[in-house]
Structure 1
Amino acid sequence: MAKKTIQRFLPDPNKIRHHKSLRIFGHLLQDANLWHLNRRSARGAFAVGLFFAFIPVPFQMVLAAAGAIVFRVNLPISVALVWLTNPLTMPPIFYGSYLVGTLLLNQPEQHFVFEASWAWFLESIETIGPAFLLGSLVCASIASIIGYFGIDIIWRRTVLKAWSARN
């Protein structure tokens, strides 16, 4: 059941293999383990994808694909989960990461207004940057752990339920 549900939402592997931003991996995308869907590959893919979804860098899809290749987990799930942080969800997720960072560093919240400029970015690195980056790393790690064990539990329960239905 879990496998069938996940497979319905996965994109076509050939489409991903030929995606222009993933071509840099070349023959590494031919590894069959990157395309299998089982409990091990799904839970690892959730961990990799959720981790990179919370890391505030450009080209998150490429990083998630690289992580999937390194850990030999399902590549489509890893890449798709990065889109958890999209233009609509990024502001609240990253602001929440900033708040986590201020809490961990025991710093007061600083009022800031976002500007799409290089000068604002350089100034922010010194003021809100440390709290934001630490909060992002902590949130990424927590989301990754929850995704890993959450999918594992859901997968096991679904299999047990299917086995008990057979009897």
Structure 2
Amino acid sequence: MPTREQMERNRFIRPYAHRVLRSELWRFTRRSVPRGVALGIAAGIIIPLGQIFVAAMLALPFRANVPVAAALTFITNPITTPFVWWFANWLGTVLLRMDEVTQVAPFSAAMQQTEFDKFLEWLTGETLVTAFGLVALASVCSAVSYLVSAWAWRWWIGRKRLRAMRLRRERLERARHAHAHVHAEAEAEL
């Protein structure tokens, strides 16, 4: 995981450093962390090269946490990439086969009209079937990871608050008990 100082020295990020290194993009908040998780996973799955750079740049308009987005691009690495591409190819084949069966064929028609198929192939460097599968996989994984990380964040904060309330209650009880003990001793002396 690159540090903030290393990112300042990176020649690709240096022109954008004043934006990427804003402090609010580096804080861990309940909104920025799930956004960073979703962006990092999407960039990690879809983008074949320069994933960290793309995730950091996407974090700007979405106000996502830059370190989280950059770290989660490592979801794809030399070990996991072949499995991700195999699954994306399988998923793309299934989705496009279902698209052919329907009379409207919304995926194929939309991609041919907008030339989205060429863009997908250029973006991912893969064939249309695999590229379509990568985008579908990234969309689902990003949405699920956003929801899971938002829920996990709330759960973690809730536990911290409950623990703090319990400790405050225990301190208050000890103080009451000590005060009652001192009061009882004072009455006993009288």
| TM-score tier after normalising by the smaller chain length | 0.7 to 0.9
Match of 2:86 in 1: 95
1:94-151 superposed Cα distances (whole Å, 9 cap, x missing partner) = 11111110010118xxxxxxxxxxxxxxxxx6xx711101100011111111111111
Superposed counterparts of 1:62-81, under 5 Å: 62-81=53-72
> Superposition pairs for residues 142-157 of structure 1, below 5 Å?
142-157=140-155
- Structure 1: distance between partners of 2:12 and 2:87: 29
Bigger relative contact order, structure 1 or 2 (CA pairs below 8 A, ≥6 apart)? 1
Give the whole-Å Cα distance in 1 for the aligned partners of 2:149 and 2:157: 12
Aligned partners of 1:20 and 1:82: how far apart in 2?
A: 20
TM alignment of 1:1-167, pairs within 5 A: 11-106=2-97, 129-166=127-164, 167=166
Q: What is the percentage of aligned positions where both structures have the same residue?
A: 27
- Range with greater deviation from structure 2 (43-52 or 16-25): 16-25
What TM-score do the two structures reach when normalised by structure 2? Answer: 0.67
Could you tell me whether the CA contact under 8 Å between 2:20 and 2:56 is conserved in 1? no
Conserved? CA contact 2:56–2:66, under 8 Å: yes
Unaligned runs of 5+ in 2: 99-120, 167-190
More helix by share: 2
Contact map agreement 1:16 1:76 (CA 8 A) in 2: no
Distance 2:79 2:87 in 1: 14
Checking the alignment, whether the CA contact within 8 Å between 2:51 and 2:73 is kept in structure 1 is: yes
TM-score (norm 1): 0.76
CA RMSD across the alignment: 1.9
Deviation beyond 3 Å, 4+ runs, structure 1: none
Secondary structure (helix, strand or coil) at the match of 1:87 reads coil
Matched letter for residue 157 of structure 2? V
C-alpha distance in structure 2 between counterparts of 1:49 and 1:24, whole Å: 21
What is the deviation of 1:35?
0.9
Residues 102 and 24 (structure 1), Cα distance of their counterparts in 2 relative to 1, 3 Å cut: farther
The more displaced of 14-23 and 70-79 is: 14-23
Q: Give the 3-state SS of the residue equivalent to 1:21 in structure 2.
A: coil
For 2:63 and 2:19, locate their aligned partners in 1 and report how far apart those are by CA, in whole Å: 10
| Distance apart, 1:11 and its partner CA | 4.6
Give, in whole Å, the separation in 2 of the partners of 1:136 and 1:146.
Answer: 15
Task: Give the number of equivalent residue pairs.
Answer: 139
Q: Aligned equivalents of 1:27 and 1:163: distance in 2?
A: 35
- Which sections of structure 1, spanning at least 5 residues, go unmatched? 1-9, 108-124
- Max Rg structure: 2
